[in-house]
Structure 1
Amino acid sequence: MNELRRIVLGRLRVPLVTSQRWLSKVNVRLNETVISQIENEDLKPRKHPGRMSINTVDLPNSIVKAIEIAMEDHPKNVLLEDGQKLARYLWERHAPLEQADITAKYEEIEKEILDKHLQKNGISVDTETLKQRYRPLVIKLCKQKLTKWEFISYDAYKSLSYMAGRSIQNYAVMCKIFNEISIRDKEFQPQSLFDFGSGIGSVMWAASRFWLKSIKEYFCVDISLHMNELSEQIILKSKPKINNIFYRQFLPASPNPPYDIVVSAYSLMELPNTESRLQTILKLWRKTNKYLVIVEQGTNAGFKLVNEARDFVLHVSKKNSQKISQSGYTFSPCPQDLKCPRYKELQTPCNFEVSYISTPFISPRHTNKERYSYVIMRKGERPKDDEQWPRIVRPILMRSRHTICRLCTKEGNLQEIILTKSKHGKVAYRCAKGSNWGDMLPLEIVNEKKDNNSDNDATVEDVKFKESEDQSNTDNS
């Protein structure tokens, strides 16, 4: 059986995970309060306090009707097709390359060509002459191999295409993120919301689902005048009514007034370089009163931008730790403020999923899943009573009489735990079994020494095999 797995993994061309943490046995201690609540039947295991899941998301009927009215002057099938093409392009997009990256690639290609010439012809002329001779070829190969980034100008039709291709996905992702904030911070009743790169207004739609009565001001910034007009057209026809919305095309220079919740959803990829992204993130952080939410596509490219934003905010917070207005910590999904172990060790993005029902313009309607990367930064110091429960960073694996959970822990490690009813108790086993990708597990992990028992080794092999499958699927997507 092990030999068969090696053959399959060889075909997948994915290395086995050999880090010691994947092989170590662990013990877990479930939160005492959770145990007590479940044993007293005050709480069901599948509804433990670490659950952040949300039901399959569908667009509100009023939004659907408003979108239909906005689309009525265009052939629906053509607009939907163009919207799907745009959505695929956005998913496959990469951030713009820095000049240093372009120069390094140029020099790499140039060296390969010169080495081939020297091997074939020897030293016939000086190096500078050879560089000039092959310069057109090097430039041509650079253009072929380097990812090209282009700024997207959203005119009236492209704004409609974006609405047709991305409205439900964006809304579903924001609903899941806002749902977590509302669950974990029940006292949070934001008075104001700032949306950078507001687009068609999906952040507002989602926010009104949770805090319609409390939010008194929505401030929306999008460089496209057509996007702002389309957003306003949709929101005027939505129910219940959303009031006090202000649209601008550029970020305000002043950090005042601050906003209770600031969001940048699928907008960092539109900025031309690292410097502009970091300047924007700094401005957004200064405009934040409590929560800053960064969201991008759940690809390697999208996650890199989210992780870049997270690291930069933590750097600013550490540098200005004495200033309460600038200090902050990672609220979600990371249970810590250390370097992300997911990308550092496995070179795969830290992403999550949300289920949504396809737009009513597509028949028959069906359930889809959207992958996204995100981070929520919170102003202030991390509370001393913050449990920092581990986050489930890949789907739960159900096996015969045991459950496998892949977790990101507060120590900044990736940890796989194999929970069984006999070893860890019925309550812990049922809590894990009832959890989903993206939830937290209300437990503490205690490492133990490796046990060479053959039964356990077989289970670990199963873990490594499945992890490799998941890694391959993530890379392909």
Structure 2
Amino acid sequence: MIVSKLNFIPARGCAVGMSFSRMMATKVKAVGLLDESLTLEASKDSFTGKAHPGKVYSAVADLPNPLQRAIDKVCQDENKKVLFTEGEKLARLLKDRFEPGKSTEKRKWKPTEYTKTKCLSYMLSRMPAEFSAVDRAFVELSKWAPNFVPRTLYDFGSGVGSVPWAAISRWSKQLEEIHCIDSSKDMVNLAELLLKGGEAGGKFHVPQTYFRQLMSPTVNRTFDLVVSAHTLFEFPSLEARLDAHINLWRKTKDYYVLVELGTREGFKLIDEAKEFILFQSKKEGQEMHILAPCPHSLACPRLLREGDRSPCNFESRYYKLWPESKGEASKERFSFVILGKGRRKSPSPSWPRMVRAPMVRSGHVICSLCTPEGKLEDVTFTKSKDGRASFLCARYSDWGDLVPVSLRQKEFDVRDKVKKENISENSDDAQKSEHENVAADEGRPLVN
């Protein structure tokens, strides 16, 4: 915003030497300061910032060996190439059903009918990606609630069983009971077969594993961990989704985890669920908290930001089942939220989260951060202005990490000087040119 501007036209016949200067309004810029809890550690010469406490450490999520063996048994008499190709087509259809892209045609919701072949195709093409996204959410749960160990799991919309397998790979010794709900009978049969090691007469990895096609509306019992992953798109209406959230939240004893595609529509469904449960809890006087990824309980600044329609999503990595990845990991973008009942059981640092991949440049790094104040800030970290430790932490943070800094606002006065110009006597051309420039600066039409 221009604070002052010299904008007059000299009278005809006057010889004037003039200079125009624009004084910009004071700008406020976010500057990162290393969290005080890390000051001692950061003072050491060995501090590199590569292993700071805000890192999530998201490695490639490979399917557990028992699951891979079960998949091989199930597909041994099938053509994997055909199954995979059909699965990719099915995944694109499911996505395009809700995101028509450039098409303006309104697409009506239709339920997806899963046959046995479609279930196998979906398993081969989508299970590694969905497993990696759920596993990445569980990494956050384990990191920010380290004392939480679920003994009972309720998986709504279990599909081919990505959620139970992700839970087994992380808490296998502690899990005592798993409940899987899916409306498709063929999906239930396939997930049950996989959890039995690919043998129809085999035993479940967790003995007390149960499958049902309908969710019981009663709330006679609760579960330590309730998960709904890649399911919200299957609801025909907003009312149906909100009704499911109420029932699932009532079944939650400790944490409710939601995972969806990292598209614009997928993110909106996650934010819709978060805002609705926050509203309901406040209305009923029930305490709750957001464990991840939001560092606040306010409205999402990405949705409030004018002109910014990009989703708040993150990346997980996985290996494809077919064709073989040959050591190269694929990437899956997803959106998620972890909602906890009651007060936070373990202290969590009030650090901003990196919501985009950092832009590393020579001598500085630019980070897009979601702050505890519910704002999006693009912060540039340099050694000279922010300190060596803060710079190193930002430099080695990845998309999705918490950056262990506290942001403060610093004011900058910016002046933009325009080169001095001489207007000669009786110069009609010079006067006309200056008149046009001033009119353009003020955004008004040129009047002769």
Unpaired stretches in structure 2, ≥5 consecutive residues: 1-23, 417-448
Q: Assess, with a 3 A threshold, how the Cα gap between structure 1 residues 144 and 421 changes in structure 2: closer, same or farther.
A: closer
What's 1:273 paired with? 237
Give distance in 2, aligned partners of 1:87 and 1:26.
Answer: 41
**Any idea what the Cα deviations from partners look like across 1:372-393, whole Å, max 9, x if unmatched?**
0111111113579543311111
- RMSD of aligned residue pairs (Cα, Å): 2.4
Q: Assess, with a 3 A threshold, how the Cα gap between structure 1 residues 427 and 295 changes in structure 2: closer, same or farther.
A: same
What are the residue-to-residue correspondences of 1:363-402 with 2, within 5 Å? Answer: 364=326, 366-382=328-344, 386-402=348-364
Q: Assess, with a 3 A threshold, how the Cα gap between structure 1 residues 44 and 228 changes in structure 2: closer, same or farther.
A: farther
Quick check: 1:228 aligned with 2:192? no
> In terms of Rg, which structure is larger?
2
Give distance in 1, aligned partners of 2:207 and 2:45.
Answer: 43
Q: Which amino acid aligns with 1:329?
A: H
What's 2:34 paired with? 30
Residue 258 of structure 1 and its aligned partner are, at CA, apart by: 0.7
**Any idea what the Cα deviations from partners look like across 1:17-69, whole Å, max 9, x if unmatched?**
xxx9xx63222221122232343579752221111131112222221121122
Write 1 or 2 for the structure with the bigger share of helix.
1
Residue 452 of structure 1 and its aligned partner are, at CA, apart by: 2.1
Q: Which amino acid aligns with 1:446?
A: R
Q: Give the TM-score normalised by structure 1.
A: 0.76
What's 1:430 paired with? 392
Q: Assess, with a 3 A threshold, how the Cα gap between structure 1 residues 273 and 64 changes in structure 2: closer, same or farther.
A: same
Q: Which amino acid aligns with 2:361?
A: R
What's 1:151 paired with? 111
Write 1 or 2 for the structure with the bigger share of strand.
2
Residue 218 of structure 1 and its aligned partner are, at CA, apart by: 0.7
Residue 190 of structure 1 and its aligned partner are, at CA, apart by: 1.0
**Any idea what the Cα deviations from partners look like across 1:130-158, whole Å, max 9, x if unmatched?**
xxxxxxxxxxxxx9621232110112111
Aligned with 2:51 (options 47, 58, 73): 47
Give distance in 1, aligned partners of 2:50 and 2:210.
Answer: 41
Aligned residue pairs total: 383
**Any idea what the Cα deviations from partners look like across 1:403-423, whole Å, max 9, x if unmatched?**
111011111110011000111
Quick check: 1:206 aligned with 2:178? no
Q: Assess, with a 3 A threshold, how the Cα gap between structure 1 residues 225 and 445 changes in structure 2: closer, same or farther.
A: same
What are the residue-to-residue correspondences of 1:425-464 with 2, within 5 Å? Answer: 425-452=387-414
Residue 450 of structure 1 and its aligned partner are, at CA, apart by: 3.2
Aligned with 1:411 (options 373, 377, 396): 373
User: Larger relative CO (CA 8 A, sep 6+): 1 or 2?
Assistant: 2
Give distance in 2, aligned partners of 1:144 and 1:352.
Answer: 28
Q: Which amino acid aligns with 1:219?
A: H
Q: Assess, with a 3 A threshold, how the Cα gap between structure 1 residues 369 and 95 changes in structure 2: closer, same or farther.
A: closer
Q: Does the Cα contact within 8 Å between 1:333 and 1:375 map onto a contact in 2?
A: yes
What's 1:420 paired with? 382
Unpaired stretches in structure 1, ≥5 consecutive residues: 1-19, 97-142, 455-477
What's 1:131 paired with? none
Aligned with 2:276 (options 280, 290, 312): 312
Q: Assess, with a 3 A threshold, how the Cα gap between structure 1 residues 262 and 47 changes in structure 2: closer, same or farther.
A: same
Q: Does the Cα contact within 8 Å between 1:197 and 1:221 map onto a contact in 2?
A: yes
What's 2:126 paired with? 166
Q: Which amino acid aligns with 1:235?
A: L
Aligned with 2:209 (options 241, 245, 252): 245
Q: Which amino acid aligns with 1:401?
A: G
Quick check: 1:353 aligned with 2:357? no
Q: Does the Cα contact within 8 Å between 1:28 and 1:424 map onto a contact in 2?
A: yes
Give distance in 1, aligned partners of 2:383 and 2:40.
Answer: 17
Question: Identity of counterpart residues, as a percentage?
Answer: 39
Q: Assess, with a 3 A threshold, how the Cα gap between structure 1 residues 422 and 226 changes in structure 2: closer, same or farther.
A: same
Q: Which amino acid aligns with 1:211?
A: W
Q: Give the TM-score normalised by structure 2.
A: 0.81
